[in-house]
Amino acid sequence: MTDQSLPLITIIIPIGPGRSYKTVMDSIRNLDYPKEKIEVIIAEGRQPARQRNEAIKVAKGSILFFFDDDVILNHDIIKRMLSLYYNPQITMAGGPNLTPETDSFLQKCFGYGMSRFFATAQMSSRYKSSGREREATEKELICCNVSGRATVLRNNLFNETLWPCEENELFNRLQSQGYKLIFDPQSIVFHSRRPSLWKFVKQNFGYGRGRVEQLWIQPSTFEFIFLAPPVFTLYTAGLLTSLVFRWLPSHYAVLFSVPFMAYCAINVSVSLWTAIAVKKPVSFFVLPFIFFFVHIPYGLGMIYSVFHRFFRRKKPCLDVKLNWINMTETS
């Protein structure tokens, strides 16, 4: 495919008020793609779904790319993703977001943990480059590294009542209409993990909250595995209170603790295997806590969302500011 035959594409980057987008712009300038064929729209605001929607409405590209403001792109990612649209029914395609080598040891441990099935089930594909190009679901694609056909997305915008999980709802909706999604493990971006344990906990709490909000909208997407985090969270709370207040006879307390001991055994085993696989032995001493801080906050977020739904107020629609970057002038 010659440069002349390459399509015009639009890169949409939602950012918070005043946030820098230098990291992703530096990557865009180094892409192996003609600069005159790239339209970049920076969508500034406080509602990511609305920000993306406003950019979709005015984008000129035939394929729209969605990246976060702090990702680092592989230089060939545009051409690689474009090659995935070989079937008219394929409407969105994306790949994983990997932990960069420049991240701290703790951030890398967050990445190691999130890339394990034990921590995030099928969503673990979002954090590792493994397997082959394949038809995907919302469990693999993620909006910091995804693309879609403009003609389809203009008629299927993101649900502005959701954050996070707005992309999950969109992916499910498109599949219900017969469209196909593709996951390519080699269409890579590098995305730093949360810089502190507290922010990592907040992230997983938000994911759990968002999952329940999505289920209210799309109850047909419910799977029994979604019950595991809140059930484990409630069970752990019950176990802790039984140990503190001793409201169970000792022999019942031992039986009640068996599931938690089984969880710990699996946790330690997966941590050991992961530390060996990534060739970072010292991570073995951190990973058991990482897995715990994935599951419990996620479960708490789900429980919070169930109760919060009955008391929440409707979110106001906030203004979005769009800014176009001329790549021929900034290259």
User: pLDDT for 166-222, tens place per residue?
Assistant: 999 999 999 999 999 999 999 999 999 999 999 999 999 999 999 999 999 999 888
Number of compact structural domains in the chain? 2
pLDDT of residue 1 exceeding 70, the answer is no
Average pLDDT over residues 15-30: 92
The enclosing domain of 10 has a CATH number of 3.90.550.10
Domain contains 88: yes
Domain contains 14: yes
Domain contains 183: yes
Average pLDDT over residues 288-305: 96
**321 and 298, same structural domain?**
no
Residue type, 123: M
Domain contains 73: yes
User: pLDDT for 88-101, tens place per residue?
Assistant: 899 999 999 999 99
Domain contains 204: no
Q: Which three-class secondary structure string do you get for the chain?
A: CCHHHCCCEEEEEEECCCCCCHHHHHHHHCCCCCHHHEEEEEEECCCHHHHHHHHHHHCCCCEEEEECCCEEECCCHHHHHHCCCCCCCEEEEECCEECCCCCCHHHHHHHHHHCCHHHHHHHHHHHCCCCCCEECCCCCCCCCEEEEEHHHHCCCCCCCCCCCCHHHHHHHHHHHCCCEEEECCCCCEEECCCCCHHHHHHHHHHHHHHHHHHHHHCHHHCCHHHHHHHHHHHHHHHHHHHHHHCCCCHHHHHHHHHHHHHHHHHHHHHHHHHHHHCCCHHHHHCHHHHHHHHHHHHHHHHHHHHHHCCCCCCCCCCCCEEEEEEHHHHC
Contact between 5 and 50 (Cβ < 8 Å): no
What is the distance between the alpha carbons of residues 144 and 172, in angstroms, rounded to a whole number? Answer: 17
Domain contains 206: no
**322 and 280, same structural domain?**
no
Residue type, 72: I
Q: What angle do CA 128, 95, 36 make, to 5 degrees?
A: 140
Domain contains 124: yes
User: pLDDT for 236-294, tens place per residue?
Assistant: 999 999 888 888 787 788 889 999 999 999 999 999 999 999 999 999 999 999 999 99
What is the distance between the alpha carbons of residues 48 and 158, in angstroms, rounded to a whole number? Answer: 9
The domain in which residue 166 lies consists of 3-193+316-330
Q: Which three-class secondary structure string do you get for 142-164?
A: CCCEEEEEHHHHCCCCCCCCCCC
Q: In terms of pTM, does the model score above 0.85? A: yes
Domain contains 228: yes
